[in-house]
Amino acid sequence: MKQARFYETLEDNRVRCTLCPFRCILAEGETGVCGVRKNINGTLMSLVWSKAVASGCDPIEKKPLFHVLPGSKAFSIATVGCNMRCAFCQNSDISQYPRDTGGIIGQDLPPEKVVSMAVAAGCSSIAYTYTEPTIFMEYLLDIAVLAKEAGLLNVMVSNGFISTDVITGSLKGLIDAINCDLKAFSDRFYRDLCHARLSPVLDAIRAYHASGIFTEITTLIIPGENDSDEELRQIAAFIHSIDPDIPWHISQYRPMYRYDKAGPTPTGSLEKARETGLDEGLHFVYIGNVTGHGGEDTYCPNCSRPIIKRQGFRVRDMHMRKNRCEYCDHIIPGRF
């Protein structure tokens, strides 16, 4: 355990967690909605500091981050816990573990060990991923400082349910890139399927981008829930309103956890969503977790030629000079 950084003390030994928009007020002995932050004797404690439930090397493309050191490896790290309760969670065995079992699991992996393992494995970055990194923020920050000193990038994969002052204060200048979920564009979806709200996620995306953290966005397309033409156009228009250079990843849903009202997303729906994003003026729209459709490749928005060709999580061919298109010298946004 470690004392939390983001909370206020209240009367009667209560505390208010300020890390995410839930702003949980906890009496002594109570735990927040994330299941991993607890009031112990009037002090908010992180129960998962240095307790890694998953760690290992991944292609950076698996996050997915397509504009961050393409072809490199990221050392991925996670603890149990999440501040959302998505009925369709793809990693529910660890993200919902504290809520479903009442327990905390994980091996002791202190920050300096995480960084040394990443360097030894030849990774170029550390990815805070698999579960929601917001809820293990103290662990993340302690690792990230050491990672910077070792010359590694820090990247997050997040649901975006975080207080914006944490982004503009603690994460700015420390996190290099993020892939943030934008699960839908309706509060109904977030309320009923995620037990959260839409507006704080939109605020977080704006804050990440404004803080100079390179931002990519992912939407998991669930048939009958967030795949209407209107909603997809709203998502694309929102992204465009911030920056048309923000990459948008469209992913295929497969039945998971407690949601069984739909089967896998048809490939045609993914292709239609991609066309919607391009029609709305987005420069980079990708189809994820299905292969053989060409939606994984990066095209220069200036000359329209393919500059990064991918197959699965592997870069097959690349036509860039540092951060520029090899053909027309156009600057490609990202961390190259």
Residue type, 210: A
| Cα–Cα distance, 176 to 61 (Å, whole number) | 15
> Is residue 250 within a helix (H) or strand (E), and if so which, with residue range?
strand 248-252
| pLDDT (0 to 100) of residue 178 | 98
Asked if 252 and 221 count as a contact pair (C-beta separation under 8 A), the reply is: yes
Mean pLDDT, each 10-residue run in order, the chain (336 residues): 97 98 98 98 98 98 98 98 97 96 96 98 98 98 98 98 98 98 98 98 98 98 97 98 98 94 94 97 94 86 97 93 97 97
Plot region of 13 (φ>0 → left; ψ -120 to 50 → alpha; else → beta): left
Asked if 219 and 248 count as a contact pair (C-beta separation under 8 A), the reply is: yes
Tens-digit pLDDT profile for residues 289-299: 887 677 999 99
Tens-digit pLDDT profile for residues 177-206: 999 999 999 999 999 999 999 999 999 999
247 Cα distance to chain centroid: 13
Bridge-partner residues for 270, per DSSP?
A: none
Kindly state the tokens that stand for 158: 């997040």
3-state secondary structure of 264: coil
3-state secondary structure of 128: strand
3-state secondary structure of 258: coil
| pLDDT (0 to 100) of residue 312 | 85
| pLDDT (0 to 100) of residue 272 | 95
Residue type, 140: L
| Cα–Cα distance, 189 to 234 (Å, whole number) | 14
Bridge-partner residues for 57, per DSSP?
A: 75
Going by the DSSP 8-state scheme, the letter that residue 68 receives in this structure is B
Which of 59, 40, 204 is CA-nearest to residue 133? 204
Burial class (CB in 10 A: 0-12, 13-18, 19+), 161: buried
Kindly state the tokens that stand for 297: 């490749």
Task: Kindly report the pTM of this predicted structure.
Answer: 0.97
CB neighbours of 169 closer than 8 A, spacing ≥ 6? Answer: none
The contacts found for 300-307 with CB under 8 angstroms, 24 or more apart, are 300/325, 300/327, 300/328, 300/330, 300/332, 301/245, 301/330, 302/328, 302/330, 303/327, 303/328, 303/330, 307/332
